Structure 1
């Protein structure tokens, strides 16, 4: 008659696991139950559990010289081939009532072996399917998190690009204003040179004709500076959707820098409106300084 180990190997069980099962259970039926409980564990995991004391939960082998007997637990009806197996069951379950059974626990037939093996395989497949479903759920959650992070990253990137475009537009406007000012200065210089040449020509003509020299006109006195030019700071009363904000900035501060200061405090800004005189400053005007915008020494603006 083949041994328990040989029968397990014939059923298709791994040799190392089958050897451990026979050693732990002491009989074929217990070995099959042990293999059922541990089919998803590797040999290394089982040995680690044994070293950590997990092996105490496995059914101990029969004692030397002990004869196999048929016992039944009166509390649950489970049958045992040996006294050792019954003692183990009592220790783990707390059941106390046992009696001898005239029914002998016979070895599993070939059909029973195949049925048990198929049952084990079905359980393993069910566990794997459940694990696959759980992994699918986890992958879906991870994909949702990744998509959310990508969306937030894209939003931040678009906001940065928007600020860069605004900054570039203000820089171009500033350059345009500076270019216009430079052109005015060149034209003024050309006109002054023209008038100077004309004056010299008239003086030379008068000298040749023996006429008195024309009186040179007095140089125009520089216009008195505007009162606002004496200020170095401007006080702004900003009416935002969240309430009134009072801020003071240097007169050379650009409207873009005012926008950044407000946005840093959580205020959204797309334009400024001044009621007296009526004027609106939008993104195209944000390159202007407070001085250039006529917002010195103070101004009241509505933030939109």
Structure 2
């Protein structure tokens, strides 16, 4: 015949919890009641409660006459005074009275029904826990996806700002190059007109006719005040230097040599092999570094690529 412990284990209860129930109550019927009452608690919680309890309710002694005591506060019945006292210590209930009603032991069928009911409750509890875990996993996944999206949005915003910054830098560089081309074209036109005037003046002198006067180059002057000055009037040159590490703006005296400019960049950690001017296209290598900025035609300003 199977023991009470085997019967509880057969109906799906954990061995440790079933052992605690038998130890706590002393019989199958009481163990079933105890397991029903503590179905929501884990083995660890039950052990902790057992360790902290002042005393355990003593089981019925051999030959002890069964008594029926009733808790007037909750209506629960007990077989012995010891069990009623234990109930009072745990629940705080104080009102008890004797009952003529005898607590009848459960039949085997009733025991099986009660065990089956507890088994169903256990299954329902586990199903509810599994459903809650599923909900928690879904929430955690939503939180993770939201955090990932926010991180991606921040990354895209930074990339967008970086692209705007690069576009603005390229626009400034193109504008500076366009301005440099205009200045060079104006200078070339002025030189052309100067040579033409000089040739006409020499021709007039030889012919003994009136010497033509100097004409203003179209676009070089205006009827109003002007701030433009010939290159010889400048004492400094402003250089826009495109280096491997970024764009650098520097100002030097017009008599500064390219060697001195390279040395200044070297102090910033930039090694220089050549200076390249895009318009007009010209490359200044180390053999040209003895030239001054004025001699290289970089006054009042120039845009150079440093390699």
* TM-score under structure 2 length normalisation: 0.56
SS of residue paired to 1:134: helix
Partner of 2:36: 36
* CA distance 1:200–1:166, shift in 2 (3 Å): same
Does the 8 Å contact 2:78/2:84 carry over to 1? yes
Does the 8 Å contact 1:68/1:83 carry over to 2? no
* CA distance 1:100–1:2, shift in 2 (3 Å): farther
* CA distance 1:224–1:198, shift in 2 (3 Å): closer
SS of residue paired to 2:66: coil
Q: Structure 2 CA distance, aligned partners of 1:36 and 1:192? A: 108
Shift of 1:35: 2.2
* TM-score under structure 1 length normalisation: 0.56
Shift of 1:205: 4.5
Does the 8 Å contact 1:25/1:34 carry over to 2? yes
Partner of 1:22: 22
Partner of 2:239: none
Partner of 1:105: 104
Does the 8 Å contact 1:22/1:31 carry over to 2? yes
Q: Structure 1 CA distance, aligned partners of 2:10 and 2:76? A: 26
Partner of 1:195: 193
SS of residue paired to 1:118: helix
* CA distance 1:68–1:200, shift in 2 (3 Å): farther
Shift of 1:19: 2.0
Q: How does 1:102-251 map to 2 (within 5 A)?
A: 103=102, 105-106=104-105, 108-202=106-200, 205=203, 209=206, 211=208, 214=211, 217=214, 223-225=225-227
Does the 8 Å contact 1:25/1:59 carry over to 2? no
Does the 8 Å contact 2:8/2:18 carry over to 1? yes
Q: Structure 1 CA distance, aligned partners of 2:161 and 2:42? A: 58
Indicate the RMSD between aligned Cα atoms, in angstroms: 3.9
Q: Structure 1 CA distance, aligned partners of 2:84 and 2:200? A: 137
* CA distance 1:17–1:139, shift in 2 (3 Å): closer
1:67 to 52, 64, 67: 64
Q: Structure 1 CA distance, aligned partners of 2:13 and 2:215? A: 118
1:88 and 2:86 are equivalent in the alignment: yes
Q: Structure 1 CA distance, aligned partners of 2:155 and 2:65? A: 77
Shift of 1:34: 2.3
> What runs of 5+ residues in structure 1 fail to find an aligned partner?
227-304
Q: Structure 1 CA distance, aligned partners of 2:152 and 2:158? A: 10
Shift of 1:31: 1.4
Does the 8 Å contact 1:71/1:86 carry over to 2? no
SS of residue paired to 1:180: helix
> What runs of 5+ residues in structure 2 fail to find an aligned partner?
229-307
Q: Structure 1 CA distance, aligned partners of 2:23 and 2:40? A: 19
Shift of 1:202: 3.8
Does the 8 Å contact 1:80/1:86 carry over to 2? yes
Does the 8 Å contact 2:11/2:116 carry over to 1? no
What is the number of residues matched between the two proteins?
221
Q: Structure 1 CA distance, aligned partners of 2:141 and 2:25? A: 46
Structure number with greater Rg is 2
* CA distance 1:94–1:215, shift in 2 (3 Å): same
